């Protein structure tokens, strides 16, 4: 009798686990726009944002261009794929290039409250604050 109820319950738990977003999006990163505040420990004066609009996707605005990329690494891992962006020029193009370079270099993520830190084995590369 117990087995009759245990098997469907086990199946539901397995299916539920399969649907769970294991990326940073599913661990506190979703439903927020993250604003870049520091790049390698220095204040980032230009505007850059990051969001997780759906599982496996990253999108945002650099200082000059909108961009998108992928991230399918399970949390706390982070692996931004090649970045696709628009091609507008602006005075902050060097800041945008540095932002994109560090975004692609990040291998770890940490979400704590309204702070998102992307880092590599040497330490923090990018620190974001959630707007709102």
The reply to whether 55 falls in a domain is yes
Task: Give the residue among 10, 8, 31 at the shortest CA–CA distance from 21.
Answer: 31
Task: Give the residue among 127, 123, 80 at the shortest CA–CA distance from 105.
Answer: 80
Interstrand relation of 34-39 and 123-130 (parallel, antiparallel or unpaired): antiparallel
- Is pTM, for the whole model, over 0.85? no
CATH number at residue 112: 2.40.128.270
* Domain housing 41: 21-130
Determine the Cα–Cα distance for residues 110 and 51; give it in Å rounded to an integer: 14
| Model confidence pLDDT, tens digit, residues 56-88 | 999 999 999 999 999 999 999 999 989 999 999
The reply to whether 77 falls in a domain is yes
Determine the Cα–Cα distance for residues 14 and 100; give it in Å rounded to an integer: 37
Please count the structural domains in the chain. 1
And the tokens for 19? 């649907």
The reply to whether 13 falls in a domain is no
The reply to whether 59 falls in a domain is yes
The reply to whether 52 falls in a domain is yes
Q: What residues are paired with 36 via a beta bridge?
A: 128
- How would you write the pLDDT of the chain (132 residues) with one tens digit per residue? 554 544 454 444 444 444 589 999 999 999 999 999 999 999 999 999 999 999 999 999 999 999 999 999 999 999 998 999 999 999 999 999 999 999 999 999 999 999 999 999 999 999 999 976
The reply to whether 118 falls in a domain is yes
The reply to whether 11 falls in a domain is no
């Amino acid at each position: 009798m117990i087995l009759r109820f245990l098997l469907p319950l086990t199946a539901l738990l397995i299916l539920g686990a399969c649907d769970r977003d294991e990326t940073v999006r599913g661990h506190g990163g979703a439903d927020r726009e993250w604003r870049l505040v520091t790049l390698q420990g220095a204040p980032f004066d230009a505007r850059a944002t990051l969001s997780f609009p759906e599982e496996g996707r990253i999108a945002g605005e650099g200082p000059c261009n909108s961009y998108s990329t992928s991230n399918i690494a399970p949390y706390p891992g982070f692996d931004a794929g090649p970045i696709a962006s628009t091609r507008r020029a602006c005075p902050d193009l060097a800041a945008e290039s540095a932002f994109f370079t560090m975004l692609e270099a990040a291998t770890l993520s940490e979400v704590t409250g309204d702070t998102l830190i992307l880092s590599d084995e040497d330490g923090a590369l990018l620190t974001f604050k959630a707007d709102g």
